[in-house]
Amino acid sequence: MAFDHGGAQERTKTLDIGFNGVSLSTDFRGTILQISAFHPKHGIVLAEPYEQFDGTRFRDTPYVREYRARMLKSIKTGKPGFGLRFDVESRDTKINLDGLGRATVSFRTVDGLAITTCLRVTEDGEVIQSLEVKSSCDSTCHLRYTMDYGISVNRASYGQLTEGGPIPIPKSENKFSFADSGRGFLIVNVPLGAHLQGHMESDGQLVDIEEAVQEKTFVNSPVQAAYSQTLEVPPRASRTLTAKFNLRPGTISQTSRGADISPAAGLPLLWRDHQENIGKLIVRRNLEYILGNCAVPLSPSKHAIQFLIHVYRNLGKLTDRETCAAYGEVIKATAKGHLTWIFRYAQRPHQFWHRSYLTTGRPKDGAVFQLDQQCYPLLEICDFWETFPGEQAFVEEILKSDAVSQVLDLIESKKDPSTGLFSTDETPGDDEVEYPFHFSSHVLLWHALSKLAKVLMQVTSSSMGKRLAGFAEDVRTATLKHFLCSDPMRGAPSFSYLVDGIGHRTFYHDANDLPTLLAPLWGFIRTSNEKQAWHNTMNFAFTAANEGGYYGEGAFGGLGSVHTPGPWTLGYFQEWKYAQMTGNTQGETVVWKKICGAMLWDGTFSEAVDGHSGISKYIANVSGSLKITETASDQFSTAVGNLSTATYSGVTGTFSIYKIDFTKASTAFTKIASVHKRKILNGSTHVSSNPSIILAADSEQEIIYDINAVTGVVSAAIQSVYAHA
């Protein structure tokens, strides 16, 4: 599927691809904002055009937020990244995410040249940025280009908004030097023990940069160097420039492979464009993102692995046999790799799995015990066995490992003798608990123990399976006894969120509490009274009574979390799934529209969204949306512009009218017209007899505008005699 990026309004996230543990993020011209790769000591190292994270500011939350947004800031401001670029104005930009580890950016210049940037990540971790310019002119064209070496090789910051224990960052020291007799370059960060190696080609020939760039070491800053030349493009001909980058551990460059060796670059599209609807787009892009940008030689998250396994089980329904086999092999290897990592390499200095890790297996945070975190690896090995029954030897080896028995013993040690409940330090959202026992974590524990008991009885001859089955039922009995109660505010049976086992409890539901939603599907809910309590709990979750959990204001209001206030994508999923489970087709349709509207341009999602706009999409140089009107079914127009925080009035010259179209696979934002001289557009409606006419009001200057949504022509419909021209 091609994504049209002719306007900046779609630029809400970077272009992200990856393959075999190397990730690439670029802007919408294809210049590089980040390459990331695995490092055996530091976990993740980066090559990027930014200064390294300030290691003295880990607990400075505004700084951490600002640092995290550095790539988006580059996109907003138009500041290019490193690598190759043509110094021209672009038009009609389109992006094709054409498979795992593959993307293509194409645009035209004002002179009619067609420029295509192919981005690839190969199986051996090389990043390829190839720019082809095609001329349809009858005369020779001259095009200025730049190879930007403004790169810093540094460790990933690991900065957190709720910092759990900073890990000191090695000194930033980037030494730029030449390789291959001036035809290649090397950036080495000796304190880090990592380097970036690369070279540039023109029509397949190496380019010598030695006379144009100086060798130098840069401390606490990226390299400051660039190579610029003019490319001559003959009439109706094409030229190609290519840059190749390898980010690797160590300080000694590796021998480049032969030019005749071309390693595989990613995998092809799961299906052809004409077969893709919005649901399949979401599946494909999240599959590509997990495999390409979350899976390093070690592995992605628990939810990511569950998603991979579910996709694997349905691949045959989604794509052709050959593509199915290729993706199936990668999915299986990724899931198996994650299990190997978590049961063999993830360190457990306190016997339990920690809430976050470096990819090396070192815990990122301190000794914080999360009950749910102990359950997901156990569920994962069960799901793997059910999906890949031919892997019995691998599964049996893990089930008999010390990790399984030690974690189970640790969980049992957390059992409160008076209640039979199991304490946790934090909720699944990483928030400290007011009371020690958390409902959805107990549902998850019961589910994990129940499934593990069945798998143990199938795979091993151990008696542990029967013991765990009894253990699971004891967990369920204690959970129902202490969490099922009458809600004093509603007078109806419900499940508490937190309890202390002696009468104190809280009522709340969080976007992270998926086990509560799934409890009936798993078999935890069995009786009519339990079912009614579950319904009451879920109905409560999607109302304002769920204080701190439900954010209902705005067209995109929904279930979220106190951890990050606002509606969450996971909250939309819960509401959508609950509507399906209860046969509420109208509610399912309403929430599906929210999901489609919250989807980012490439089919992925952010964690939390704005309840009014629904998306982290933004319109360039605009900070607010003041009025919105529905012009047709699922099509809207909105007045946007900037307000001064000093005067709380509009900033003259910033106001425009945009169209928002939810009828397409990817929510489309289109600029209809600019209303440059106005102070504020704080009223908007449409003419029912003529959907192409939009009325917008500037109350400060007492004018109502007639705006043609087709032509973009703006005229004064009603104007006060006191209005300013």
pLDDT > 70? residue 680: no
What per-residue confidence (pLDDT) applies to 625?
47
Tokens of 390: 């031919």
Same domain, 575 and 671: no
pLDDT digits (tens, 9 = 90+) for 24-64: 999 999 999 999 999 999 999 999 999 999 999 998 888 99
Cα-based angle 141, 142, 145 (whole degrees, multiple of 5) = 135
Residue 223: its pLDDT value, please?
Answer: 97
- Name which of 485-489, 563-567, 664-668 the model is least confident about: 664-668
Q: Among 418, 409, 523, which Cα is nearest to 471's? A: 409
Length of the chain: 725
Dihedral sign for Cα 318, 324, 326, 330, please. positive
Edge-to-edge order in the sheet of strand 683-687: 683-687, 690-698, 703-708, 714-719
**Domain shared by 139 and 208, yes or no:** yes
Decide: helix, strand or coil at residue 23: strand
DSSP count for the chain of H helices, then E strands: 14, 34
What amino acid is encoded at 630 in this protein?
A: E
Sign of CA dihedral 475, 527, 509, 364: positive
Specify whether 606 is located in the same domain as 713.
no
The C-alpha atoms of residue 457 and residue 449 are separated, in whole angstroms, by 12
413 CB-near residues (< 8 Å, 6+ apart): none
In angstroms, how far is CA 44 from the centroid of its own chain?
17
Query: Of 618, 637, 671, which one is at a domain's C-terminal end?
Result: 618
Q: Is residue 513 part of a domain?
A: yes
Q: What is the mean pLDDT of residues 78-103?
A: 93
pLDDT beyond 60 at 645: no
DSSP structural state of residue 381: H
What's residue 617's pLDDT?
Answer: 38
Within a domain: 256:
no
Q: How far is CA 616 from CA 12, 611, 613, 667, in A?
A: 6, 10, 8, 12
Give the model's pLDDT for residue 664. Answer: 53
Interval 621-627 mean pLDDT: 46
Residue 262: inside a domain? no
Residue 354 lies in a domain: no
The pLDDT of residue 632 is: 72
Most trustworthy range by pLDDT among 13-22, 145-154, 245-254 = 145-154
Q: Could you give the dihedral angle defined by the CA atoms of residues 64, 65, 68 and 69, in that order, rounded to the nearest 10 degrees?
A: -150
59/119 same-domain check: yes
Choice between 502 and 252, residue whose per-residue pLDDT is larger: 502
Domain range for 567 is 548-618
| CATH number of the domain within which 116 lies | 2.70.98
CA dist 711 and 663 (Å) reads 21
Are the beta carbons of 707 and 627 closer than 8 angstroms? Answer: no
Band of the pLDDT at 724, cuts 50, 70, 90?
very low
Across 284-299, b (16+ Cβ under 10 Å) vs e yields bbbbbbbbbbbbbebb
Q: Which residue has the tokens 């401390």?
A: 219
| 28 belongs to a structural domain | yes
* Co-location of 495 and 385 in the same domain: yes
Quickly state the pLDDT bin for 7 (edges 50, 70, 90): very low
| DSSP alpha helix (H) spans, 599-645 | none
Tell me, yes or no, whether 649 lies in a domain. yes
Each residue's pLDDT tens digit, 212-258: 899 999 999 999 999 999 999 999 999 999 999 999 999 988 765 55
| 222 lies in the same domain as 292 | no
Pair 491, 613 in one domain: no
Read off the pLDDT of residues 402-461 as tens digits, 9 standing for 90 and up.
Answer: 999 999 999 999 999 999 999 999 999 888 999 999 999 999 999 999 999 999 999 998
Amino acid at 457: M
In this structure, the number of other CB atoms found within 10 A of the CB of residue 659 comes to 17
Q: Hey, what are 611's tokens?
A: 């309840």
Residue 703: both structure tokens together: 């004018």
* Residues 647, 651: Cα–Cα separation, whole Å: 10
Q: Using the predicted structure, report yes or no on whether residue 718 has a pLDDT greater than 50.
A: yes
Residues in CB range of 470: below 8 A, 6 or more apart: none
Residues 237 and 294 in one domain: no
Q: Which token pair is 333?
A: 């290897």
Predicted local distance difference test score (pLDDT) of residue 19: 92
Angle (CA) 504-508-512 rounded to 5° is 125
Task: Enter the pTM of the model.
Answer: 0.78
624: confidence class by pLDDT, cuts 50, 70, 90: very low
- Say which residue the tokens 């934002």 belong to: 669
Percent of the chain with pLDDT over 70: 86
Does one domain contain both 677 and 704? yes
The count of domains in the chain is: 5
State which of 345, 376, 402 marks the end of a domain. Answer: 345
Same domain for 223 and 90?
A: yes
Element (H, E) at 312: helix 302-318
